[in-house]
Chain A
Amino acid sequence: MIESITSRGGLNARNPRVVEIFDEHQGIVYRRTDRMFAVLMSLQWLAGVAAALWISPKAWEGSDSHTHPHVWAAVFLGAVISSLPIAFALLRPGHIATRYAVAVGQMLMGALLIHLTGGRIETHFHVFGSLAFLSFYRDWRVLVPATVVVAADHFLRGVFWPQSVYGVLAASEWRWLEHAGWVIFEVTFLVIAIRHSIGEMWGIAERTAEIEALNEGLEAHVASRTAQIVAANQELEREIAERKLAETELAEQRSFLRQVIDLNPNFVFAKDGNGCFTLVNQAIADAYGCTVEELVGKTEADFNTNLESVESLHRDDLEVINKLEEKFIPEQMITDASGQARWLQTIKRPILTPDGTADQVLEIATDITARKTVESALRQTEERFRQLAENIREVFWITECRDNKLVYISPAYTEVLGRTCTSLDEISQTWIETVHPDDRSRLIDATASIQEGAGYDLEYRILRPDGDVRWVRDRAFPVTNEDGEIYRIAGIVDDITERKQALEQIKTSLQEKEVLLKEIHHRVKNNMQVITSLLNLQSKTINDEHALSVFQDSQNRVKSMALIHETLYQSKDLSRINFAEYLQKLVAHVSRSYRIRPEAVQINIDVDDVSLPIDTAVPCGLIINELASNSLKYAFPADMRGEINITFEHGKSSYVLRVSDTGVGLPADFKPETGKSLGMKLIRMLTDQLSGELQCHNGIGTTFEIKFPEDREIVQA
């Protein structure tokens, strides 16, 4: 059996893995023993040196001594013998050459130690001990060179120096075989032990291989189970991931639905059979003055103090749950957190469970409080409108543009038109027939124009059934919808017969008064003309130039007023005169009265197109007469040429009268507010009458400027 185990030829039949494990184990043994011998031989060398130093440190010649050659032999020869095996053991561990070198070196070292110890028989045990150590390699081949070295040593020394090995000078030539035989004796047992050891190593290798095979099977099984577990884990992870995804999506959907119901201004909520809120949105939470989380789990009774209302709501909920039918509640009232009544329009629907029953009710309540308020206001407005429409004397009517039919007409219709209100359709159809034939076309045209967005205000006659003709004022205006489209026409028909008649009387009276007023102005003008003529006749008897000038001034002043009345009665408007026209006449008269030469003094007039009332025109005319007269008389002495400029500007809310000349100007010490001439007094007085302000600029010529307000209180002179 041992033979079969240790036979290298039999390895072919072995499991390669067994051989591999055996070789690996054997290599470990080789290398481990190599390392052991590396240490052992190093210590052995040191021990040899120590032994030499102890036994024969010195050689003597009388009293002289020197190092004993044994010491040098122990140091150097021991180092040489040990060097190769140690080097091989360190550099080539496990190699067969190393083992052979160790075997040879170890035997040589034994020989050296025997020498160093003086051939002590005890030292020969080193040889046998070394063989035992060499058997640690578990390689019987190593014992061969060791045995050969021992045999060769004894053979050679037996031949050449028998006494050194056998202790006799003439030993038998075969005696070395005796010594070698003892070595072989030990080697034989060592070889047997080595083979047993190798057999055990094979057994270990086979068992290791079997364990490995079992382990591999176990590992394969474990790997298979691990793969199954990994696959199961992956499946589980996938399911977990899907579940997380589903949970995430569900959370997103819940969040989305939460936002949807929270954004819904209606109250969205659900209750269970006990009336507890199970789902609420932000709107109802806000109405109850709490958060969504606070509201869930509570009942109406926690917020609504009206127990009757709470019980009514709960009864409705139970009815929906029990009957499994949807219920619509047009109006119901709750009291919100602020104590205000809130009107709701609610739809209640049962939330069905998988078994077809219901334990909750879903409710969507629309807050119609605003609508109720509007409806109430509308009713009040309608009532007010109705009261207004039914109590006014005017006829209020409304027609639809779509079919041009009357949709409303106030009761005054009967009174104004003298007809009974049978039906709105009849009124619509017969309205035009009630209009005077001469006025129908105007009404039809106006009615057509209103479709284009413009209203009308029309006066026309209507014919009453009793033959009476009445004037009415019909004012209609379009009514547009939110898109700006006209869909109705509303109108008011007012009986203006009496007013019309009164207006005619007023017109007649006014015409009479205008005639009378023109006659008055005419007569005033004539009277002033008489006064002027009288003054003219009187002046002809006066030789004094000054007195004559005074007369002439007075004539011009009267003339200036007469021109106003003349202009008034010749104009259409008896209350105002065209001031430009008047001023042209006035300047022409003044020029003629002072016989000025047009080529010497040029009068320029620049007057805005304004009409002045008589109480403004008279002072202005007198002022211009005074200033123009002064300029004509004093500004241009001898043959001096120049200009007189008269402007009258209409400002934003005032008038500016400016009279200037390019004459010699006034004296340097002249002040308009202190001038004592009649003309200046008259100008100051008239300026005050106009509530104006007088300014005088004396430079190149003279400029008088009077600024007075457009609207002023009339100051009587």
Chain B
Amino acid sequence: MRLTGRRITLIGAFAIWVVAVAVGLALLWRYENTSGANASPPPQWPVASTVKAATDRATLVMLVHPRCPCSRATIGELARLMAQTQDRLKAYALFVKPEGTSEDWEKTDLWRSAIDIPGVEVVMDDGEEARRFNAVTSGQTVVYDAEGHLLFSGGITGSRGHSGDNPGRSAIVSLVNGGDEKKSESAVFGCPLFGPHSACKESEDD
């Protein structure tokens, strides 16, 4: 087969296209699989917390950025989680409202989705509770047992904004349903709860 100029151009264009597509997909996958900063929640339920931990069952606290699109998958996974654990888990969804935002800024579709999940109590947080649990990434989920011991810390999605089976949700279900009692962790995929110059710094100050 003779390689004419036109054919060479065609092949060249195809090769460039393949490279461009590969690079694009690679960047996209990289973004999807890059987790946020992991929290270091206190091993015991913080006493100062205004959230009341359950004493007869485990308590789940999820810190959510009201407007983080990646957390839509997290809320979805929370709904599945609640369905799997039934009444064996007390859940709180704390929507962190940054300072200086308008009233009801946090009342987004995520808020409404969370309210609709049975067994989940939605609470607006001005950042205090997030700091108490050392959460910095939306979707950060912590689970304490009835005695206030930390059972789980991490995210319940497999990648950024991606629904589906993931290790975090599986671990919680296992912990709550009386399976493995060993403390576990997973990566958190979501937007930062605080801006670069506020929350983190304050957290460091604490």
Contact = CB atoms under 8 A, between A and B. Distances in A.
Interface of A: 55-65, 68-70, 73, 76-77, 80-81, 83-84, 87, 97, 101, 108, 111-112, 115, 118-120, 161, 163-164, 166-169
B193 A62 contact: yes
Nearest to B96: A62
Contacts of B32: 115, 164
Interface stretch (B9-17, B43-51, B55-63, B175-183): B9-17
B90 interface: no
A67 to B, nearest CB: 11
Nearest to B167: A169
Contacts, number: 106
B194 A61 contact: yes
Residue of A73, A108, A118, A169 contacting most chain B CB atoms (<10 Å) = A118
Interface residues of B, number: 43
A120 B72 CA distance: 12
Interface string B144-180: 0000000000000011011111110000000000000
B17 A80 contact: yes
A101 B28 contact: no
Given A61-B195, A83-B17, A164 B162 contact: yes
A112 B72 CA distance: 18
Interface of B: 10, 13-14, 17, 20-21, 24-25, 27-29, 31-33, 65, 67-70, 72-73, 98-101, 138, 158-159, 161-167, 191-196, 198-199
B2 to A, nearest CB: 16
Contacts of A161: 29, 33
Nearest to A78: B24
Given A118-B163, A161-B29, A164-B162, 19 more contacts: A58-B69, A59-B69, A60-B138, A60-B191, A61-B191, A62-B192, A63-B101, A65-B67, A73-B31, A77-B24, A83-B17, A84-B17, A87-B13, A101-B14, A118-B72, A119-B161, A119-B163, A163-B158, A167-B164
Contacts of B33: 161, 164
A80 B20 contact: yes
Contacts of B17: 80, 83-84
A119 B162 contact: yes
A294 to B, nearest CB: 93
A77 B158 contact: no
A258 B21 CA distance: 102
A385 to B, nearest CB: 128
Interface pairs A-B: 10 shortest CB-CB: A167-B164, A56-B69, A62-B195, A167-B165, A63-B98, A77-B24, A163-B158, A61-B192, A84-B17, A60-B191
Given A65-B67, A80-B20, A60 B192 contact: yes
A527 B57 CA distance: 225
Contacts of B158: 163-164, 167, 169
Contacts of B163: 118-120
B188 to A, nearest CB: 14
A84 B21 CA distance: 11
A62 B199 contact: yes
A245 B25 CA distance: 91
A543 B65 CA distance: 207
Contacts of A61: 191-192, 194-196
Nearest to A165: B164
Contact of B14 (A84, A112, A115, A118): A84
A163 B166 contact: yes
18 contacts: A56-B161, A59-B68, A62-B65, A62-B98, A63-B100, A63-B195, A76-B24, A77-B28, A80-B20, A80-B24, A81-B24, A97-B10, A108-B25, A118-B161, A119-B73, A163-B166, A164-B33, A167-B165
A630 B99 CA distance: 185
Nearest to B68: A60
Contacts of B72: 55, 118
A73 B70 contact: no
A120 B31 CA distance: 18
A76 B21 CA distance: 10
Contacts of A115: 28, 32
A392 B113 CA distance: 172
A613 B163 CA distance: 180
A364 to B, nearest CB: 99
B23 to A, nearest CB: 9
Nearest to A77: B24
